[in-house]
Structure 1
Amino acid sequence: MADDSALLNPVLEFLSGTLPFDSLASDRLVAIAAQIQICYHPQGELFDDDEEVGLRILRSGAVDLFHQDGSLMDRLGEGESFSLQGLNATNLQVSAKAIEDTLVYILPASAYQALRKEQRHFDRYFSAQRSRRLRRAARYEPVPHRMNAPIAGIMAKSLLTVAAATPIQHVAQLMSERRVSSAFITEGETLCGIVTDRDLRVRCVAKGLDVLEPISAIMTTDPKTLNAQATIFDVTLAMTQLGVHHIPVVSEDCLVGVVTTSDLMLAKQDDPVYLVTHIGRQDSVEAIATMVAQLPSLMVAWSSSGLKSQHVSRLLTAISDAVVIRLLQLAEVLYGPAPGPYCWLGFGSQGRGEQLLGADQDNGMVIDDSVPESQRDWYRDVAHYVCDGLARVGYRHCPGNIMAKNAQWRLSLQQWQETVARWTRTPTEDALMRVTIFFDIRGVYGDQSLAERLQQTMLSEAKGNTIFIAALAANALAATPPLGVFRRFIVEHDGEHKESVNIKKRGILPITDIARLHALAHGLPQVNTDERITALAKVGVLQIKTARNLSDALHTLQQARIDEQCRLITTGEAPSNYINPRALGTIGKEQLRDAFTIIKEAQSAIKLRYRSGLD
């Protein structure tokens, strides 16, 4: 083939868009292409396990790989490759069969092995294809975003530490002399508390406290800390969620530094902490809406600079939380203080911390049982103010009316607990739909103990309830990945989204359903899907490899969704959850197929695990 450019050019073009050949230098790729042999296999033909055949690359068609017992091991399509010699080195008697007319490019064994020895990433790719296919070499990753850097590189290490009995006045003098905005109360090397400039103003001066009182009287005990290996994203999210400006940094439980908002250089309007801070200072719905209008351009900036998909969704959720909190604060000014304790609940994607643009509202209220019915008009008025305010800001009213303004989802703790018990003990289709939304629960504002007690009821009602779990499993199997025969995409055939796939409905939500099902079945409190998968692996419900594959599939699909939304935003179109697989290119399509295949395998495992209740 080396002398025949008419044959060589098509091979070069194909390999340049096929993993992992696309990463080879052009001269190396030409040399490889020149050694390629072409072979045709009609439908039904078995492949020979010839030691001279190194790597088979499917140019067109489809191939099934079988275990020794005849069970299906994998199904491969265009652009995918396999080596029977390599597979049989670790798996006895793997066989391959063409399940449709198939054209194969063959890279001889000598060239294939030489390439594996020469190119480390090439060898790693074929060492564990599927499990690593979605975790590409650094070449395929975006340029690292500054928020992925460890905080050890930006934290202040020269700290002011004092004993708990030190007088407030003396600590203030030391802070002034050292020109620092915080002091840390320690016992030995153990952190007991933190005092900031704001604490001195609010807890001491404003209240007329005697400055000779011990500093422990105004310190924040048990402050939120982060490990030195945490990222700038982690500290940004913590500051955003907690509304604080100082995060102590520890290593092996010893205080080693502090990160402040100044360290993060937050005097930029595209920083989420800056945005959240300013949302918290707005005094009208219209002013909040002006701030939130920046989100589309911010998401494009975050994504294009390399921020990971799971980080983008966590930040967008933190910003929507800030909007809810500010609206509730404004409502409390308008209607006065609450008659009794309550907690505003975020459900669904907000509860999981996985919101993207275009999300509608899923929220509710849990009210302390001590509040009589005669005093609950306050909660109704506040709920209407907040839900309508969210809609004006850009968070649409829920089409299913799952909002706190609906009296059905503005209940006392006891009423919520009774509702949850009814859903789990009589798992109707409607109840299961409710569970997939309401059981992803998080307290956004108010008395967190109410949200925690409600979640504990959910977990205790679900764990060990085989009928409910079986019904939930059937529900998790209802949305199948859009892969048909020969791993071809099943797309919309007509309408506005012709030739496209709803990647949220057919990919992301099935993973969410799988993680939720396992977590509820085993009483795990995590709500975020990534955290659920990690916890499931930790307790042995999922194998580590399975958990990593599910997590990789989730991130791949979420990143594809974000990329498409960013593309639409930059062209002036509304964000969508639909993706046209043909527009992704060879690598993108292969990653999508892998992700959908992983979901199929996870759904098959669910049916086996919970089949006693499904039969």
Structure 2
Amino acid sequence: MENVIVERVADFLKQFPPFQEIHSADLHKIAAQVRVHYVPKRNFVFKEGDPAHTEFYVVQQGAVGLRSKSRSATAWIDICDEGDILGLRPLFADQTYAMEAVAREECVLYAIPIEAFKKVLANNQAVMDFLLESFASNTRNPKASEAKGKLLSANYASNEAQSTDLDFFQQAFYTKNPICLTAKATIQKAALLMNDHKISSLIIEENKLPIGIITDKDIRRWVATGEMQIADKVSEIMSSPVKCVPPTIHLAEVQTILLQHKIGHLCVTQDGTDQAEIIGILSEHDIVTAQANNPVALLKQIERVSKLESLTRIRESLSSLLEAYLNTALPMPYIMKVSGLITQALMHRVIELSEEKIGKAPVKFAWLGIGSQGRGEQLLLTDQDHALVFEDVSDEELETTQAYFLKLAKDVSRVLNELGYVFCPAEMMASNPKYCLSLSQWKSQFSKWIDQASTQNIMMCSIFFDYAKVYGEADLVKQISQHILQKLKGNQKFFAYLAEDAVKNPPPLGFFRQFIIEDDGEHKDEFDVKARAIQPLVDAARVLILAEGIEGKNNTVERFEKLIELEPQNEEVYAGCIKSFHVLSKFRAVEGFKNNSSGRYLELSSLSKSDKMKLKRAFKPIQEIQSLLKNRFKLSYFL
């Protein structure tokens, strides 16, 4: 029986890094010494300041939250789930714990004795490198598919750290399919190849594995000085062994390696070792190129741009950047933040250029991003959704004033369309006279939607209650927000209608826990991740935050975080919604970039069993938040 348990532990561990790198015999020795801990919900694994344990932990089931006593009790630094490692500090430093670990739900942990594990580390550099990276960079799992990166959530990172983080997480784009030579080739052949292909380096390979690198500097150093002849073999002057890195490496890591080893080139292989096939090469020049396309650089380029072609290139760079971030498994809060900042800056510049072209606006105005852009959640090239509000003018000036802003909006919409943001099929755009209104007209419009609750009006509220200023006068936007909140104050009937709309899509699982998929049309047998999973979370956050009378919280995650502050008794439900929102958003983004689509429909047959389980786990908070809505707004009586 004991051997069966050891086998089960070993089988589980070998699914996750760094245990995948451990030889089977060694892994079974570790598994035989693992202790299984059951941790009830809300119990501590360790507390901040506790003496170091003799074990570190791997989550087998459940979720463990990490937080610091110096922050709010609701400000989780990160959540570790299946396969994640925590409590590594005693492995490298005989110190007290720097944060506390709390079971967010019932947990089963595998406790691995540190002394036993050190014996494995002594003969396994890959495992040591993984754990060193994890400990040194404050990273719970550098290879994790869900949340690689520093243990900093959006509400934990300081503003001062933002610029550093933008640079740290920038992916180092490498040259694919590099030119290679064998060690027996002559220096002359290497020089001719470099000249023909206009490159400055070659990888020397043997059976498709890297054994060295030769650069034009090497040739000048040895041949130009007469120490070597052009007929000599490249093996005589190549740098060896070659330093290899994986394709997912970040810019900061590349810079560190080049400085540490005083070299100018790195070989990119499938797994980052010299025993894997060559797939690319990285040079100091690639670093310069990457730095020119990082978020900070893109923001600076947007400020200076004056031509549509340049805007198109920046928009393409943003898409490439976001796709790379997803591929390197950066945290979704960070990816969304970068996307939101650059998208807003891009649209701001488009409006600015259009205003310069058409002429200065006759009165103050504000351009509003609506829907996903208004919530700061736009990752993909989706439909345009926007509106425009201008300050009140006399009845005599209204027609000509609106005509100016319609002209401006049409020009902006045209440019956005050329950048890849297609026109909204329902024409919910500022170029539509219905959504290009004065401040008073917008107040009247919102009053009508709120006072005359109907299916259509509730739908319009769901769309237009999520807005953010992209350009113009913030005070106009503030006046609209204050008007809406005043109209909603104590309006239980309206909130019941809005809550009813928010629960119209129940958790997307059938009676036998099967996915509810589209049964006809273009997307037959596909799963609508937007309407069936993401939208219920968005809708729930909206109605709850509005019912609290909170102004200025448009982002779904920020809404749930604020609700945690206001209702700590419901923290578990709201925190679950946050995690699910990030998981579901990533599924949609990955699908969108893979198929150059909106990412709305997932082909379930292409998902792994693990991915399907992640999806199903993400549905649980939908059921919980909808139950909360039904109870709070008495929907059983209302319906």
Which of residues 584, 587, 594 is equivalent to 1:560? Answer: 587
Residue 366 (structure 1) aligned with residue 389 (structure 2): yes
Alignment pair present for 1:506 and 2:509: no
CA distance in 2, matches of 1:9, 1:233: 41
Contact 1:346 1:442 in 2 (8 A): yes
Q: How far 1:278 sits from its partner (Å)?
A: 2.0
SS in structure 2 of the partner of residue 543 of structure 1: helix
Q: CA deviation at 1:148?
A: 6.4
C-alpha displacement at 1:591, in angstroms? 2.0
2:355 alignment partner in structure 1: 332
Q: How far does residue 355 in structure 1 lie from its aligned partner after superposition?
A: 0.2
- 2:600 aligns to what? 577
Give matches, 1:507-546, under 5 Å.
Answer: 507-525=533-551, 526-540=553-567, 543-546=570-573
Q: 1:606 to 1:234 in 2, by over 3 A?
A: farther
> What SS does the aligned partner of 2:389 have?
strand
Count residues in correspondence. 437
Check whether the contact 1:536–1:542 (CA below 8 A) recurs between aligned residues: no
Would the aligned equivalents of 1:147 and 1:307 in 2 still touch at CA under 8 Å?
Answer: no
What residue in structure 1 maps to residue 337 of structure 2?
Answer: 314
Give me the whole-angstrom Cα distance separating, in 2, the residues matched to 1:123 and 1:10. Answer: 11
TM-score by length of structure 2 reads 0.59
Q: Is the 8 A contact 2:339 2:379 kept in 1?
A: yes
SS in 2 for 1:344: strand
C-alpha spacing 1:280/1:12, structure 2 compared with 1 (3 Å):
same
Flag structure 1 segments of 5+ consecutive residues without an equivalent.
35-53, 56-82, 91-115, 154-225, 238-263
Q: Deviations over 1:390-434 (max 9, x none)?
A: 111111111111100000001111110111111111111111111
Distance 1:3 1:229, change over 3 A: closer
| Distance of aligned partners of 1:424 and 1:232 in 2 relative to their CA distance in 1, 3 Å threshold | farther
1:343 alignment counterpart: 366
CA-to-aligned-CA distance 1:250-299 (integer Å, 9 cap, x gap): xxxxxxxxxxxxxx999823212322322333333343223312233221
Quickly say closer, same or farther: Cα 1:474–1:374, change in 2 above 3 A.
closer
- Corresponding position of 1:463: 489
Q: 1:400 to 1:24 in 2, by over 3 A?
A: farther
Instruction: Give, in angstroms, the shift of residue 328 of structure 1.
Output: 1.7
Tell whether 2:615 aligns with 1:592: yes
1:589 offset after TM fit, Å? Answer: 2.3
Cα separation, 2, equivalents of 1:227 and 1:574: 33
CA deviation vs aligned residue, 1:117-139 (integer Å, no higher than 9, x gap): 966334784789xx964895423
Judge conservation of contact 1:413–1:454 (CA < 8 Å) in 2.
Answer: yes
Q: Give the TM-score, by structure 1 length.
A: 0.62
Query: Which amino acid in the other structure matches residue 473 of structure 1?
Result: A
From the superposition, tell whether residues 88 and 296 of structure 1 become closer, same or farther in structure 2 (CA, over 3 Å).
Answer: closer
How has the CA–CA distance of structure 1 residues 235 and 515 changed in structure 2, closer, same or farther, with 3 Å as cutoff? farther
Question: Is 1:422 matched with 2:359?
Answer: no
Shift of 1:363: 0.6
1:141 lines up with 2:144 in the alignment = yes
Query: Compared with structure 1, are the counterparts of its residues 578 and 13 closer, same or farther at alpha carbon in structure 2 (3 Å cutoff)?
Result: farther
1:473 and 2:476 matched: no
Question: Which position in structure 1 is the counterpart of 2:318?
Answer: 295
Classify 1:3/1:309 alpha carbon distance in 2 versus 1 (closer, same or farther; 3 Å): closer
Letter paired with 1:141: A
User: Any residues of structure 2 matched to 1:343-422 within 5 Å, and which?
Assistant: 343-370=366-393, 372-376=397-401, 377-422=403-448
Q: Which amino acid aligns with 2:331?
A: K
Residue equivalent to 1:175: none
Distance 1:267 1:489, change over 3 A: closer
Contact 1:359–1:395 (CA under 8 A) maintained in structure 2: yes
How far did 1:458 drift?
1.6
CA distance in structure 2 between the aligned counterparts of 1:606 and 1:29, rounded to whole angstroms:
48
- Provide the C-alpha distance between the structure 2 equivalents of 1:485 and 1:381, rounded to a whole number of angstroms: 53
Judge conservation of contact 1:384–1:405 (CA < 8 Å) in 2: yes
What are the ranges of 5 or more consecutive residues in structure 2 without an aligned counterpart? Answer: 44-52, 66-78, 86-139, 170-286
Q: Please tell me whether the aligned partners of residues 18 and 587 of structure 1 are also in contact (alpha carbons under 8 angstroms).
A: no
Q: 1:503 to 1:284 in 2, by over 3 A?
A: same
Provide the rounded CA distance (Å) in 2 between the counterparts of 1:419 and 1:134.
49
Q: Compared with structure 1, are the counterparts of its residues 342 and 301 closer, same or farther at alpha carbon in structure 2 (3 Å cutoff)?
A: same
Alignment of 1:238-257 (within 5 A): none
Q: What is the Cα-based RMSD across aligned positions, in Å?
A: 4.3
Deviation of 1:331 after TM superposition, in Å, equals 1.9
In 2, Cα distance between equivalents of 1:447 and 1:588: 44
C-alpha contact 1:310 1:354 (8 A) present in aligned 2? no
Higher relative contact order (CA 8 A, sep 6+): 1
Question: In the TM superposition, what is the alpha-carbon distance from 1:22 to its structure 2 partner?
Answer: 9.2
* Distance verdict in 2 for CA 1:595–1:416, change over 3 Å: same
2:163–2:296 Cα contact (<8 Å) kept: no
Distance 1:236 1:462 in 2: 44
Query: C-alpha deviations, 1:491-532, integer Å up to 9, x for none?
Result: 335665454312122111111111001011111121111111
CA distance in 2, matches of 1:30, 1:8: 7
State the SS of the aligned residue for 2:500. helix
Whether the 8 Å contact between 2:64 and 2:81 is mirrored in structure 1 is no
> CA distance change for structure 1 residues 235 and 449 in 2, over 3 Å: closer, same or farther?
farther
SS in 1 for 2:441: helix
Q: C-alpha distance in 1, partners of 2:150/2:81? A: 26
Matching residue's letter, 1:350: Q
Summarize the Cα distance change of 1:135–1:464 in structure 2 as closer, same or farther, 3 Å threshold: farther
Letter in 2 for 1:537: I
- Determine the C-alpha separation between the residues in 2 that align with 1:515 and 1:380: 33
Q: CA deviation at 1:566?
A: 3.8
- Corresponding residue SS for 1:120: strand
